[in-house]
Structure 1
Amino acid sequence: MQIKIGIIGTRTVVEKIASVIQSFPTFVPVIRIVNDEEETVHIAEQLSKDVELLLLSGPLSHRKVKEIVPLSVPVHYVPLTGAGLYKALFHSMQSGKLEGGISVDTLTRTIVIRTLHDLELDGTKVVVYDGPAYSSPDSLVAFHQKQAESGTCSIALTGVEQVAQQLTNLQVSNEWLVPSEQDIIVSLERALLSSESRRGKESQIVVGMINVDDFGKLVMKRNSEHEVQKLKLDIHRTVLGYVESLDGYLTSLGGDEYLFFTTRGIFERETGGYKTIPLAKDANKSFGISLSMGIGFGISANVAGMNARVALRKSKEAGGNTCFIVREDQTLIGPLEMADPVQTVLSPMNAELVKRAEDAGMTSAYLSKLLSQMARFGKCEYKVHDLAALLEVTVRSAHRLLLLWIDNGLVEIAGLEKMPKGRPRQIFRFSFLTDKSL
């Protein structure tokens, strides 16, 4: 399931949304940058024909679009909450202008007073714009300018970028209230739930396979059979609790492997949009074990089951303690965050790119290990000795593979590392792992 979402707004906010949306593999963003709110209406009308829903950068543009152009797709916007106010207040405090009082628009007086109370700044003088909720930028500029000229307030806090620019031109101290990442995440989650594709997939069957890494070694460390059986029961109870949170059905396939069924909507919510698996962290902290998980989507239970087995194999090939998802179109998502933190959230890798990599001699095991390193450490550049160690091959074999992958456009030479003695070492970048290539 790929949902095309149109994102419209000024450059600063849109770039922030584009950064956050990488952690939502389901979305395919179509971005349009505007210079002011007036352009939004026309672009939204044009873009609505090609996307399933729209996300606008602010409430003012949202209101204009809803009033002027009745669109057939859901239209959402990124609201401004108290979270964006914290950063502006911090900057105001650093500049020493908070003591002179603040003038605020866009936010309600209740939100401003509550935020100041949380920061123990109750003595700060506040003047909040009490005009219409969707006033023109000129009205807001006049309000802040009046407060500054009368000496009532020493800094203006505005939620409209155009107002901030005009105040700067008028040499009125100001801070632009930019939406926080949490505001954007909440907006994207709401947008996802409203999409028609998402609603249609809510009840689709999801098959999951869980395998305990190095279970044989864990058993050998136990002093008695009683301890082994107790460990199995503890693991089973932990896995059962997780599947229960998914409203799923669990069955054991043996001492170290489990199979479960749930629905796509529930799984997506519990993983935060395919980001993290809390089960792995619980198991690691409670019993010192790591888990490998494979999740399969499909138009039938049989297809979902086969995809789950493929995904589990990729998790094991990556070295364990990972989770991959194989969707019905063979798109690969992962690795998801398990017990170890993931630094980079990777975009879905389409089936054509996976096949292209495998045709170039990049086996499933090699690909899984590279994806895991990219997600956990953001690493896509290697020297040949480092790559050989990761793939568990000889340096000579690593050289041969790199030449093959360079010929197929998967790898490029990023630079040279100078050595105290001997020839410089080449640094190879796996360009197909970057977001644009994915």
Structure 2
Amino acid sequence: MTRSSQAAAIQQIRIGIIGTQTIVDKIMKIIETFPSFDPVPLVFQEEDEAPALAEQIGREVEVLFLSDPSSQRKVKELNRIIIPVHYVPVTDAGLYKALFIAQQKGIMAGGISVDTLTETMVYRTLKDLNLPSVQAITYDGPVYAPKESLIAFHKAYYESGQCSIALTGSQAVAQALTALGIPNEWLLPSDQDIVVSLERALLSTSSRRSREGQIVVGMINIDDFGAQALRRNNEHEVQKLKLDIHRMVLDYVESLDGYFTHLGGDEYLFFTTRGIFERETGGYKTIPLAKDVNKTHGISLSIGMGFGPSASMAGTNARIAMRKSKEVGGNACFIVREDGTLIGPLEMADPVQEVLSFTDAELIKRAEDAGMTSAYLSKLLNQRARSGKYEYKVHELAHLLDITVRSAHRLLQTWLDNDLVEISGIEKVPRGRPRQIFRFSFLE
């Protein structure tokens, strides 16, 4: 199922993305780590097109996100947009990359001309990079200068021989300078700049503000605590271990401004609010508690988080999420939202390439109707998040799901019939029959 169909199913916060193709593509890649957003991308060729595009989708979205400050200003000047309007700023983070490329090309010795950034930002960056000898001339005109003025600024200093390369924050200016044969680099915003700006945009939406105080229930279970206790020399050490873990969990819940209680044995329960939990996990990405416990005591945790309009629903969803974490073998955290949407696994003690998997309730039901139990689905999601893997040979799948090869063949045939899986290729082996490669397309 595509992200757009998932978004429709769970009523996410709609955000309009307006900008050049390059920046919009970059934003769309990063926004995948923001499960609350349902992006509506629109691309323009010229900044002057931004107001019309903003007006076109202004009533369909909760917030607008522009690719640059100039187009954002044009939209604001329209005075007909009543929702928040944000943009991606150009900072000195983009300057680092541009200077590195210019130095590699060996064309920086003649000096640089820079627009969009301030003189202080430019010289601070040159100092940080140990390039104090590089002459830099910054544009000191209006903040929202027309592109013609910026082109004339760079052209004048290049033709005078004072600068050998232009660094610009405008794609249109970069394209014009290239047409004139003037060496240049476009100051692209960094991923971090986009992330910070998206976080600001998220916090400005009315939906987000209404969810800030929503109850979140968390359940924590120590994986295989009995085996851990057997490794201790005596009961005194076991009790000390319990106290240490209790203290670490208590400290973590305190950081969430939450309420904490020990359910007995190796299970804990806590309550917090959605806004605080989202901020402390970096937007549902990492659980620092799991890393701390693993590093300190070599113990892994299974964590289930439940969202809901009532404490009862949040608690039920937390128990479902906990079961998902246990089904993948522990050392995992899943979130079940109020609509049945599954998020996870979040990053725990081990680094992962993609810490966010996003699966809606409709897909979960479709998978289970096709004979894919929640345990199998959880293991596939966990493996996808940790290794990026969504193609398997039969013996690999059997090993992952802890079943026989014969059972794996039977399941694959059922999933093929229900369009959950497709055959993506054949692997030839020196001896024996060729092996089919199966793609779990819904995981891509």
Q: TM-score, normalised by structure 1?
A: 0.98
Which residue matches 2:245? 235
Which residue matches 2:68? 58
1:283 partnered with 2:290? no
| Structure 1 Cα separation of the partners of residues 345 and 356 of structure 2 | 8
Which aligned pairs between 1:369-380 and structure 2 lie closer than 5 A?
A: 369-380=379-390
1:202 partnered with 2:212? yes
Deviations 1:384-430 (A, max 9, x none): 00000111111111011111111111111111111011221111010
Structure 1 residue 346, shift from structure 2 partner:
3.5
Superposition RMSD in Å: 0.9
Which aligned pairs between 1:261-340 and structure 2 lie closer than 5 A?
A: 261-340=271-350
Which aligned pairs between 1:211-222 and structure 2 lie closer than 5 A?
A: 211-222=221-232
Q: Is the 8 A contact 1:248 1:261 kept in 2?
A: yes
1:81 partnered with 2:96? no
Q: Is the 8 A contact 1:22 1:347 kept in 2?
A: no
Which residue matches 1:406? 416
Structure 1 residue 7, shift from structure 2 partner:
0.5
Q: Is the 8 A contact 1:360 1:408 kept in 2?
A: yes
One-letter identity of the residue aligned with 1:59: P
Q: 1:347 to 1:40 in 2, by over 3 A?
A: farther
Which has the higher mean CA deviation after the structures are superposed, 301-310 or 115-124?
115-124
1:252 partnered with 2:262? yes
Unaligned runs of 5+ in 2: 1-10
One-letter identity of the residue aligned with 1:419: V
Q: Is the 8 A contact 2:305 2:334 kept in 1?
A: yes
| Structure 2 Cα separation of the partners of residues 187 and 388 of structure 1 | 43
Q: Is the 8 A contact 1:322 1:338 kept in 2?
A: yes
| Structure 1 Cα separation of the partners of residues 49 and 413 of structure 2 | 49
Q: Is the 8 A contact 2:340 2:360 kept in 1?
A: yes
Structure 1 residue 347, shift from structure 2 partner:
4.7
1:97 partnered with 2:107? yes
Q: Is the 8 A contact 1:155 1:173 kept in 2?
A: yes
One-letter identity of the residue aligned with 1:288: G
One-letter identity of the residue aligned with 1:428: F
Deviations 1:311-330 (A, max 9, x none): 00000001111100000011
Which aligned pairs between 1:2-151 and structure 2 lie closer than 5 A?
A: 2-151=12-161
Which residue matches 1:395? 405
| Structure 1 Cα separation of the partners of residues 265 and 380 of structure 2 | 30
| Structure 2 Cα separation of the partners of residues 377 and 348 of structure 1 | 15
1:424 partnered with 2:428? no
Structure 1 residue 344, shift from structure 2 partner:
1.5
Structure 1 residue 68, shift from structure 2 partner:
1.9
One-letter identity of the residue aligned with 1:134: Y
SS at match of 2:149: helix
Unaligned runs of 5+ in 1: none
Which residue matches 2:360? 350
Which residue matches 1:191? 201
